[in-house]
Amino acid sequence: MMMMMITPGLTRVCAVIALVMCACGACEAGCADRPAPRCCPGRNNECVERSARRSVCYCDAYCRRSGDCCEDYQTACHISAIDCEVRQWGPWSPCSSVCGAGTTERSRQVATPPHNGGTPCPDLKQRRGCLAHTETCSAAKEVAKILPDSFKRNFKDPWRRPHMLMKEEKKSYCVQMRVKQASAACKVKPWSAGLVHERSVCVECQSDAMTPDNRCRGDGLQNIRSFWSAASAPGCSGSWVRESFTEDCRCPSYSMIFV
């Protein structure tokens, strides 16, 4: 016995043959005269009728795309196909970068979702590039000069002299940096040899190294790449990203300090 593959196109042809057989009878025409359901969601090759001119037409939602709807489809099936409706665009988000190139996006909500073959929703999100430049951007351009913590200069004055007490009032802070790049010259010195790719290092900002605004030059910005240079290792330099900032902090032994 031979088997025949029934394709969607062939099914539609079979429906046409059925209508031809009805053409000489008392069959009514149009979607409004179909037995329930008069209109069909999606693509339904059995949702077929005859137009007023007795040509084949369809009452399924797909007919809007294929262009073979019955003449009364719009009026008879107006509740079957619901187009998507969206609300107004929301505001653009802040730039994803606090310094340099980044992205910003906006979104809108669906007010009425599509049903039964209605027009699908348009894009609900838009994204575009942005260029951030704030006052803090200059910090990302600074090059930090660092030394091993064996060069620490903070100490308590045993004589409690007033001018020394003023210096002691500035408490140190720590920044945790993740090294992204280090030059080959860093391997020469034992202390700088540990500055390798993806190594996390603690760098302490002591009062003697602070600028008038109570920060160390080159302490970076959160999650922004900045640059460093080893003060006692000629040619040793690279880049890193600040991962955390801790006030009133001392780094553990074998760490770094800003100078």
Q: How confident is the model at residue 21 (pLDDT cuts 50, 70, 90)?
A: very low
As a whole number of angstroms, the distance between CA 52 and CA 148 comes to 92
What does pLDDT average to over the chain? 82
Q: Which span out of 16-30, 108-122, 134-148, 200-214 was modeled with the highest average pLDDT?
A: 200-214
The confidence score (pLDDT) of residue 129 equals 93
The confidence score (pLDDT) of residue 25 equals 41
Q: Where in the chain is CATH 2.20.100.10? A: 85-133
Task: Decide if pLDDT at 159 tops 70.
Answer: no
Q: How confident is the model at residue 94 (pLDDT cuts 50, 70, 90)?
A: very high
The confidence score (pLDDT) of residue 3 equals 39
Q: How large is the average pLDDT for residues 216-231?
A: 90
Report helix, strand or coil for 138.
helix
Q: Which span out of 12-26, 66-80, 161-175 was modeled with the highest average pLDDT?
A: 66-80
Q: How large is the average pLDDT for residues 182-190?
A: 94
Report helix, strand or coil for 170.
coil
Q: How confident is the model at residue 166 (pLDDT cuts 50, 70, 90)?
A: low
In this structure, are residues 217 and 156 in contact, taking their beta carbons and an 8 Å threshold?
A: no
More confident site: 36 or 254 = 254
| CATH top class, domain 85-133 | mainly beta
Half-sphere exposure for 195 (CA within 13 Å, toward CB): 34
As a whole number of angstroms, the distance between CA 13 and CA 153 comes to 92
- Note if the pTM is more than 0.85: no
Sign of torsion over alpha carbons 155, 157, 161, 165: positive
